[in-house]
Amino acid sequence: MPYINLKTTKKVSHEKSESLKTAFGKAIECFPGKTEAWLMVGIEDGAKLWFKGDASKDSAIVDVDLLGSVSKDGSSAMTKEMCNILSEELGISPDRIYIKYTGFADWGWNGNNF
């Protein structure tokens, strides 16, 4: 039950969104037992973001939500992957990217909780 939400200053085309979705689907495997099979991805482009008070360069923030706990090894590997993806796909410098991880004990789907 992972969810990845990207918010970025960049405009993202439909084709680029598909490419990001695919890359995120592979990156989520940094967490044992997580796959694209249950992954939901959100992409919010054209956001107004100021990083260190500066909006002159492109920036991004990524929320990664997981059912269960977030392991240090998984989040470290995922941070590296996400920075690489956003740098390669959108040209955003890794020093302009924040990634936030949240684990949840309860996750709802289809009228019930897991």
Model pLDDT for residues 14-50, shown as the tens digit of each residue = 999 999 999 999 999 999 999 999 999 999 999 999 9
Q: Global pTM?
A: 0.94
**Every domain of the chain and the residues it spans:** 3-108
- Please choose, from the candidates 106, 107, 108, 82, the residue with its C-alpha nearest in 3D space to the C-alpha of residue 96: 82
First to last CA, the chain: 9
Mean pLDDT along residues 85-106:
97
| CATH superfamily of the 3-108 domain | Macrophage Migration Inhibitory Factor (3.30.429.10)
pLDDT tens sequence across 56-65: 999 999 999 9
- Report pLDDT for 48: 97
Give the HSE-up count for residue 45: Cα atoms under 13 Å, Cβ half-sphere.
Answer: 11
